[in-house]
Amino acid sequence: MSKNLRQLQRSQLSNQLLFLAGLLLLGLLVGLACWPLNLVDHGQDTLLHQLPGFTGGQWTLRTLAVALAPIGVMPLLLVLQAGGLARGAGSGIPQTIESIENPDRAPLLMAPFATVARLALWSAASLALMPLGREGPVVQVGAAVAHALRRRFPNLLAGIKPVSLMAIGAGAGLAGGFNSPLMGTIFVFEELTGSFQPSVIWPAAVVCCAAALVSNLDGIPMFTLGMVQTLKPEWQQLLWALPLGVGGGLLGGLFSRFLWRCSAYLRKRVLSRPLQWGLGLGLALGLVALASGGRSGGDGEALMVQLLEGQGSLPVPGSPLSVIGWLLLLLGRIGSPVLALAAGVPGGLIDPAFAIGALFGSGTLELLGADSQLGLALGMASGLAGATQLPLMTVLFALRMAGDQQWLFGILLSSVIGAAVGRRIQPEPIYHALWELGRSPDRQVDQRAPRR
């Protein structure tokens, strides 16, 4: 009996080790798949830092060509999306949600061709300095890797349901793309599954950690903004979190609402006349980039780093022209991502929403003579939470970006307030709203009840 018990225990241990090895393999593969996207993001950052808004220099023929690249690239992208690369159009998150909700659609939406097409379109758009995040492509890549692994090795990780495995892979893609394993883990439950499942929590955490570790090997900083330290006591953070949470949540909610409306308006029009719409939208993006010195371009991380380095939102504090410039840049950071994302260009809204909130928060406190870094930290959290209505994910990502747990109280309150305000403006979370728009393009947002 004792011998049989030991054999059973060894068998169970062996199965558990194999299961753990399978999880680590999935995380490794997702991290490797995210690696090229992170390199593209580095390339975008290099191009951005050649523009006058970041160098303080003058426009040259070379920098003009870089800033006006969307005029040529956007028509090409829309023509490709209307033709041979149609399956690569769109963010990637609505396609992932569709695959989880309707698994019979996964073989088409998670196919290698669709995945590679989406990565190619996003890479071209990013290197043209379009103001796009990357969570859409990395989430879809992670889900596609998990789906392919299950199809190729059906007995590997057999204890996890196929839809749960895709959700875990999607979260690992987010973790690998942003070097934030806890953010990816929470995203699985807060957005993709809608419930905390104990049987999925620890596998998701393992896969997300492995993906972030591998993806980080190419040099993604542990704390994207560096160590943003604060000596402000918690009561001051909480005091400022109230107004900045409301203001950032309002802007984030307007951003997502505007994105949904424009997506509904442009979807059919872009497909019917991709060249004309591409030229018009590309020209608009190029002109806004030109007017802002390039600071309206890119995903927004370079702009936030610039704000932290002392080049504030208001170059000449107290100057009316400076305030007007700040407001115009804020409008540009809201409108430019919408023009690209609503046209179906693959990308994401996490980084753009972060940048909107950071620009609003730092500029507001700079105007009031307070600590602009405090405004940036609280503003970026409320802006992202207002746009996505994912306060837990926002808190974890904001702390990961800043790298100092002293921000916890302020970021937590501003995120919760921002999410509540954003929901008042955009009743349904934006990722699910865009998913439902893709399933029923003529559906109107005013006729929908909040999903959750």
Q: What is the pLDDT of residues 238-285, one digit of tens each?
A: 889 999 999 999 999 999 999 999 999 998 899 999 999 999 999 999
Q: Does 60 reside within a domain?
A: no
Q: Are 292 and 332 in contact (CB under 8 A)?
A: yes
| Structure confidence at residue 55 (pLDDT) | 87
Asked if 207 and 97 sit in the same domain, the reply is: yes
Give the whole-angstrom CA distance, residue 118 versus residue 62: 28
Q: Is residue 181 in a domain?
A: yes
Of the ranges 400-404, 408-412, 440-444, the best mean pLDDT one? 408-412
Higher-confidence residue of 3 and 47: namely: 47
Task: Report CA-CA distances (Å) from 417 to 232, 246, 392.
Answer: 20, 6, 12
> Is residue 165 included in any domain, yes or no?
yes
**What local confidence, expressed as pLDDT, does residue 5 receive?**
62
pLDDT at residue 310, as a whole number: 64
Based on the structure, what is the number of domains in the chain? 2
- Give percent of the chain with pLDDT exceeding 90: 59
Mean pLDDT of the chain: 87
Q: What is the DSSP letter of 160?
A: S
Question: 325-339, 414-428, 434-448 — which is least confidently predicted?
Answer: 434-448
What does the alpha-carbon distance between residue 396 and residue 136 come to, in Å, rounded to a whole number? Answer: 19
Does 315 score more than 60 pLDDT? no
pLDDT for 172 beyond 50: yes
CATH number of the domain to which 368 belongs: 1.10.3080.10
Identify whether 285 is part of a domain.
yes
433 and 342 inside one domain = yes
Q: Which residues contact 271 (CB under 8 A, 6 or more apart)?
A: 82
Do 305 and 423 lie in one domain? The reply is yes
pLDDT computed for residue 224 by the predictor: 56
Do 179 and 300 sit in the same domain of this protein?
no
Q: What is the pLDDT of residue 8?
A: 59
What's the whole-number mean pLDDT along residues 345-361?
93
Same-domain status, 278 and 363: yes
Q: Which residue reads 């934030």 in tokens? A: 180
Are residues 119 and 37 in contact, defined by beta-carbon separation less than 8 angstroms?
Answer: yes
| 182 and 255 co-located in one domain | no
- Three-class SS state of 347: coil
Domain housing 38? 2-48+85-218
Q: What angle do CA 213, 47, 360 make, to 5 degrees?
A: 80
Q: Are residues 200 and 300 in the same domain?
A: no
